[in-house]
Amino acid sequence: MNASDTIFAPASGVGKAGIAVIRVSGTKVLEALEVICGIKNPKARQVRFAEIKNPLTKEVIDKGIVIYFAGPESYTGEDVAELQIHGGRAVLKEVLGALSSVKGLRTAEAGEFSRRAVMNGKMDLTSAEGVADLINADTKAQRKQALRQLSGELGNLYEDWRHKLVKVLASIEAFIDFPEEDIPPESINTAKQAVTSLIEEINRHLDDNRRGEILKSGFNIAIIGTPNAGKSSLLNRLVKRDVAIVSKTAGTTRDVIEAYVDIDGYPVIFADTAGLREATEEIEAEGIKRALAKAENSDLILAVFDGEKYPEMDKETQELAKDKGLYIVNKSDILKAPVSDDLFPISALTGEGIDKLWAKISSIVTEKLSLQESPALTSVRHRESLNDAVSFLQRSMNAPQLDLQAEDIRMAARSLGSITGFIGVEEILDMVFKDFCIGK
């Protein structure tokens, strides 16, 4: 990958459409516009109608709209052009072919436009990740979270923390490097206090039950229980589709069957699993193994008990679901004993009790994932760097010497900087001189 190449790629999706957009970015954009569209000296940000030609045969491929953005006032910070052409496969293929025949132009790699935007300081890394999340957003809450991140809310939070550390570092370094300047020793205490409160703040942010990450990837709900309890029937009922096979044969479901639903704007993935019992053969044993893994990795468990057997309730199912489960007694249509208040009696067959269960699931999901005032942590990458930062800060608090303390704080600032992509070293020096007026 060469960052000096001019790159192009369809910005719109695959398949037929009324319009397709091709984006071109780099130093050769003007040249490409002249060769392919016959446009010379375009005005930035003005819509131009143009014939798009094959530069070799001069044949007109399509007629469309061309917009030129002069760098740095563009998405990537470079010269950019957007060609809005008809979205037919042949048109797209030939226009892309025409672009690739211009010397110095090549197809962009995945994420390369946003990568250039980051490299050119148009956005930080978290915003670029927000762009990807926004494109992948399936539900309203996912879209909102992604847009907040794209808009820089998360990046600003991390940058703000890093700035605090840079300030602390500046005061410690000043103390070390310029002892003759009579810096009050309290400044070291103030610095320590700042580090302590930052550790607390980062820990609060980390300790959010993975709200942002779950919103991004989907809230996982596993349906478990003994064979024939009615797990597959419940799944079909909940997602209003016939996704899983239902039969009176115990042990029907073998593999994990997942179905995706949007609950009030939140992404939820229900997983039906194999019935739990002593396996009778190899495939069933594997299915049960997967069921247990699914239960372990889910955010909520729907423990389904067979109403035909109630009040007997399977012990293993109870145990598996005790920390994060709802106990559901299915087949309420044929129940012989009344169900106690803490359980959800339902009939997957008739639909009885499903509304109440659905309301409960929905309230759990909403409470767990609802957007908060401060932006949520959304990726493992961020979590790892934040954990590193906290470790360094904690170590700095116990460092025996000031210079070691400073080094740990510098490492912590670096970890934070790696999240947004800003790891300025120079600015620490800048800060020393600015805040303490040391030097001439």
Of residues 257 and 369, the one with the C-beta less far from ligand GTP: 257
Q: Which helix (H) or strand (E) holds 21?
A: strand 17-25
In whole angstroms, what is the distance from residue 433 CA to residue 440 CA?
9
Output the smallest distance, CB 278 to ligand GTP, in A: 13
**From the list ligand GTP, Mg ion, none, partner contacted by residue 100 (C-beta under 5 to 8 A by kind):** none
Stretch of residues binding Mg ion (CB under 5 A), selected from 6-14, 245-253, 301-309, 313-321: 245-253
- Taken as a whole, the chain contains a residue count of 440
Taking CB under 6 A as the criterion, the residue among 71, 87, 251, 265 binding ligand GTP is: 251
Of residues 28 and 231, the one with the C-beta less far from Mg ion: 231
In whole angstroms, what is the distance from residue 390 CA to residue 198 CA?
9
Of residues 246 and 416, the one with the C-beta less far from ligand GTP: 246
Residues 395 to 434: which contact ligand GTP by CB under 6 A?
A: none
Locus of tokens 């820089």: 152
The answer to whether residue 126 forms part of the interface with Mg ion (CB under 5 A) is no
In whole angstroms, what is the distance from residue 176 CA to residue 317 CA?
62
The answer to whether residue 317 forms part of the interface with ligand GTP (CB under 6 A) is no
DSSP string, 183-240: --THHHHHHHHHHHHHHHHHHHHH-STTHHHHHHH-EEEEEEESTTSSHHHHHHHHHT
Residues 329 to 368: which contact ligand GTP by CB under 6 A?
A: 330-331, 333-334, 347-349
Of residues 45 and 289, the one with the C-beta less far from ligand GTP: 289
**From the list Mg ion, ligand GTP, none, partner contacted by residue 257 (C-beta under 5 to 8 A by kind):** none
Taking CB under 6 A as the criterion, the residue among 166, 246, 386, 419 binding ligand GTP is: 246
Burial group, residue 421, by CB count within 10 angstroms (0-12, 13-18, 19+): middle
In whole angstroms, what is the distance from residue 29 CA to residue 42 CA?
11
Tell me the residue nearest to ligand GTP as measured from the CB.
275
Asked whether 20 and 9 are in contact (CB, 8 A), the reply is: no
Output the smallest distance, CB 244 to Mg ion, in A: 6
The answer to whether residue 226 forms part of the interface with Mg ion (CB under 5 A) is no
The answer to whether residue 34 forms part of the interface with ligand GTP (CB under 6 A) is no
Output the smallest distance, CB 253 to ligand GTP, in A: 3
Stretch of residues binding Mg ion (CB under 5 A), selected from 72-80, 191-199, 247-255, 366-374: 247-255
In whole angstroms, what is the distance from residue 153 CA to residue 30 CA?
35
**Both tokens assigned to 67:** 């917009």
**Residues binding Mg ion: what is the number (CB under 5 A)?**
4
Name which of 240, 388, 250, 364 is nearest 302 in CA terms: 364
Stretch of residues binding Mg ion (CB under 5 A), selected from 34-42, 196-204, 246-254, 280-288: 246-254
Output the smallest distance, CB 281 to ligand GTP, in A: 14
Distant-in-sequence, close-in-space partners of 173: CB < 8 Å, separation ≥ 6: 406, 428, 432
* CA dihedral sign of residues 163, 166, 172, 174: negative
Q: Is 348 helix (H, G, I), strand (E, B) or coil?
A: coil
**From the list ligand GTP, Mg ion, none, partner contacted by residue 26 (C-beta under 5 to 8 A by kind):** none
Of residues 174 and 223, the one with the C-beta less far from Mg ion: 223
Locus of tokens 């120079």: 426
Q: Is 379 helix (H, G, I), strand (E, B) or coil?
A: coil
**From the list ligand GTP, Mg ion, none, partner contacted by residue 155 (C-beta under 5 to 8 A by kind):** none
Stretch of residues binding ligand GTP (CB under 6 A), selected from 40-48, 93-101, 224-232, 337-345: 224-232
**From the list ligand GTP, Mg ion, none, partner contacted by residue 407 (C-beta under 5 to 8 A by kind):** none
Taking CB under 5 A as the criterion, the residue among 149, 232, 330, 385 binding Mg ion is: 232
Name which of 399, 401, 437 is nearest 174 in CA terms: 437
Contacting residues toward ligand GTP, per CB under 6 A: 225, 227-233, 246-248, 250-253, 274-275, 330-331, 333-334, 347-349
